[in-house]
Amino acid sequence: MKASEVRSLLDEELIDKAAQLRRELYNLRFQRSTGQLANTARFGGAKRDLARVLTVMRDRDIGEHHSS
């Protein structure tokens, strides 16, 4: 997921996307610990995607409080 795609999401969509990525990371961690994770690169990609979403959410939160 590109940063421009994340920035184009609405606030509610960002919250949903963060929850989805957290669930995916949980499942990937479980698969990795049991030796069932075939695509190990997806683990790092999911972490980066979650970081992008959280960063945009934080940027928007700061923007709202800073403009007041």
What per-residue confidence (pLDDT) applies to 18?
Answer: 94
**CATH code at position 32:** 1.10.287.310
Residues 29-38 have pLDDT tens digits of 999 999 998 8
Cβ contact 36:54 at 8 Å: no
C-alpha pair distances (Å), 65 with each of 9, 61, 68: 20, 6, 6
pLDDT tens per residue, range 2-31: 889 999 999 999 999 999 999 999 999 999
Question: Which range of residues forms the domain containing residue 45?
Answer: 3-67
Into how many domains does the chain fold?
1
Q: In this structure, are residues 22 and 50 in contact, taking their beta carbons and an 8 Å threshold?
A: yes
